[in-house]
């Protein structure tokens, strides 16, 4: 990268306890782009403005996604023990490729997701949410991160992947460590690969109605199956956990907002959209890599420099220049990305279905939910990428567990049904709330096979 100006040294992102607190000052001081240090000795550029972020995300010829272009990853600056290498090094998945290779992986992943049935999504999401609430609803208090938001996406992924629950816990715990890109990240990467390699081999030998089997049927090798599943976990575990957590924090710290959304699925969806604007779970993400020297926002950026996509800063920038209500209504946030690497619609829909169900069921089951500590005492996990609460302690009037038919529960059956088996019977979740309302249209095009009654 261009040698730093001594008067404006790179911002050491790795030293920030909560990088989100930096975004307003960086926008004010640097405008569209700022020189940063991602870990000691590893430099890059944080893209700040909405327009520049969108340009970098959509121009794939000028800004590659493939980390093979990342100069410091290959010239010895970022060593083999680096957390950056473990998290952002090359993999055989749609996230780390460009062009035809990217399209092949993306098509296979979308096709495999499209084979999942309505029952596999609706029942797993609703029953998981209700069972997690049942575990603490009699106690009158809970930590909504550890006991709810942390576990709901993990549980749903467990069932959709065909992993045993203990395997999914280990994979997702390792993924959280990997997201931190710290000294423990390389070992976490190894643990994830070992577990998912084993799953890929098992599904090749004995296919089932799960995502891993779908990827095998799309012609993926075991390594490719492992890396696509790693991508789904990276996108569907920690980010969804903290989309739920950040939305619940917003509701619990704004009583007027909380009262207005009670009982309204539409307003819950709008609140989640507002949370994606104001407190996106993924606030910054490495990276894009210029394929030639270029001027960006007044900075001279060299070929192979690392560009850090600044989602949270971009949202602040756009809302400062636009009526925030108009911006939010237009859903112009960059949370899902832009250009060829934008999150597929099927992935967005599953994310929103999990998040909306999480908020809806909690508000319905525990209507007087309230923070158990002063909002100023809530703590954030130190992370450049994921904007995460460490905990969200709440109190409420103890409530009775839901009346589920435990004998018919999907939790009392194996994670997998043999391919072509009869779909399970109707949901055992709270009557009248399992799959109605706004989620229905999403599920209809989330899983095309539903239209044929499969």
Question: pLDDT by residue (tens digit) across 304-349?
Answer: 999 999 999 999 999 888 776 666 656 678 888 899 999 998 888 8
What is the structure's pLDDT at 450? 31
Q: Report the 3 state secondary structure along 331-343.
A: CCCCCCCCHHHCC
- Contact partners, residue 347, CB within 8 Å, separation at least 6: 113, 232, 235, 236
Check whether 414 has a pLDDT greater than 50: no
What is the structure's pLDDT at 289? 97
The answer to whether the CB of 231 falls within 8 A of the CB of 437 is no
- Report the chain's mean pLDDT, rounded to a whole number: 83
d(CA 237, CA 149): 10
Check whether 425 has a pLDDT greater than 60: no
pTM comes to: 0.84
Other Cβ atoms within 10 Å of 205 Cβ, number:
8
157-171 as b/e: b if 16+ CB within 10 A: bbbbbbbeeebbebb
Check whether 255 has a pLDDT greater than 80: no
What is the structure's pLDDT at 321? 82
C-alpha neighbours within 13 Å on the C-beta side of residue 255: 4
What is the structure's pLDDT at 154? 83
The answer to whether the CB of 45 falls within 8 A of the CB of 290 is no
Check whether 63 has a pLDDT greater than 90: yes
Alpha carbon 192 to its chain centroid, in Å, reads 17
Between 261 and 92, name the one with better pLDDT: 92
Between 68 and 421, name the one with better pLDDT: 68
Tokens of 70: 């990342």
Which has the closest alpha carbon to 320: 2, 27, 79, 3?
Answer: 27
Domain ranges of the chain: 11-405+426-446
What is the structure's pLDDT at 97? 94
What pLDDT digit, counting tens, does each position of 128-161 carry? 899 999 999 999 999 999 999 998 998 888 878 8
Query: Which CATH number among 1.10.630.10, 3.40.50.360, 3.30.300.30, 3.60.40.10 corresponds to the domain 11-405+426-446?
Result: 1.10.630.10
Q: If pLDDT is split at 50, 70 and 90, which confidence band does 120 have?
A: low
What is the structure's pLDDT at 382? 85
Tokens of 319: 């809302």
Cis check for the bond before 287: say yes or no (omega within 30 of 0). Answer: yes
Q: What is the mean pLDDT of residues 294-301?
A: 95
């Amino acid at each position: 990268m261009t040698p730093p100006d001594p008067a404006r040294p790179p911002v050491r992102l790795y030293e920030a306890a909560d990088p989100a607190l930096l975004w307003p000052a960086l926008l004010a001081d640097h405008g569209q782009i700022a020189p940063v240090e991602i870990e000691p000795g590893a430099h890059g550029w944080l893209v700040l403005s909405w327009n520049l972020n969108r340009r970098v995300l959509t121009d794939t010829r000028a800004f590659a996604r493939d980390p093979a272009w990342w100069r410091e990853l290959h010239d010895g600056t970022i060593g083999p023990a680096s957390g950056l290498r473990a998290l952002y090094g090359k993999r055989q998945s749609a996230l780390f490729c460009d062009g035809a290779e990217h399209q092949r992986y993306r098509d296979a992943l979308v096709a495999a997701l499209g084979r999942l049935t309505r029952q596999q999504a609706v029942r797993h999401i609703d029953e998981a949410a209700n069972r997690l609430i049942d575990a603490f609803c009699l106690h009158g208090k809970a930590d909504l991160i550890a006991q709810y938001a942390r576990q709901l996406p993990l549980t749903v992924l467990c069932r959709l992947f065909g992993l045993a629950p203990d395997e999914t816990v280990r994979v997702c715990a390792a993924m959280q460590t990997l997201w931190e890109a710290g000294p423990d990240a390389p070992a976490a990467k190894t643990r994830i690969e070992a577990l998912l390699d084993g799953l890929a081999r098992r599904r090749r030998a004995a296919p089932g109605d799960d995502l891993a089997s779908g990827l095998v049927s799309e012609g993926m090798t075991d390594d490719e199956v492992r890396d696509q599943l790693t991508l789904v976990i990276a996108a569907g575990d920690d980010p969804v956990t903290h989309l739920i957590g950040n939305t619940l924090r917003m509701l619990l710290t704004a009583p007027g907002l909380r009262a207005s959304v009670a009982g309204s699925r539409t307003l819950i969806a709008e609140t989640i959209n507002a949370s994606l604007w104001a407190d996106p779970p993924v606030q910054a993400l490495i990276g894009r890599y210029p394929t030639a020297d270029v001027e960006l926002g007044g900075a001279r950026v060299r070929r192979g420099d690392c560009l850090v996509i600044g989602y949270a800063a971009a949202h602040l920038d756009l809302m400062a220049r636009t009526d925030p209500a108009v911006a939010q209504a237009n859903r112009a946030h960059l949370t899902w990305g832009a250009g060829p690497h934008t999150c597929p619609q099927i992935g967005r829909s599953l994310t929103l279905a999990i998040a909306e169900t999480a908020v809806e069921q909690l508000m319905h089951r525990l209507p007087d939910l309230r923070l158990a500590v002063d909002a100023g005492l809530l703590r954030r996990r130190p992370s450049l990428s994921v904007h995460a609460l460490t905990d969200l302690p709440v109190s409420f009037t103890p409530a009775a567990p839901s009346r589920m038919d435990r004998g018919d529960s999907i939790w009392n059956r194996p994670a997998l049904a043999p391919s072509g088996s009869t779909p399970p019977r109707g949901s055992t979740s709270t009557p009248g709330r399992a799959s109605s309302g706004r989620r229905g249209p999403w599920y209809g095009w989330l899983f095309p096979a539903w239209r044929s009654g499969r």
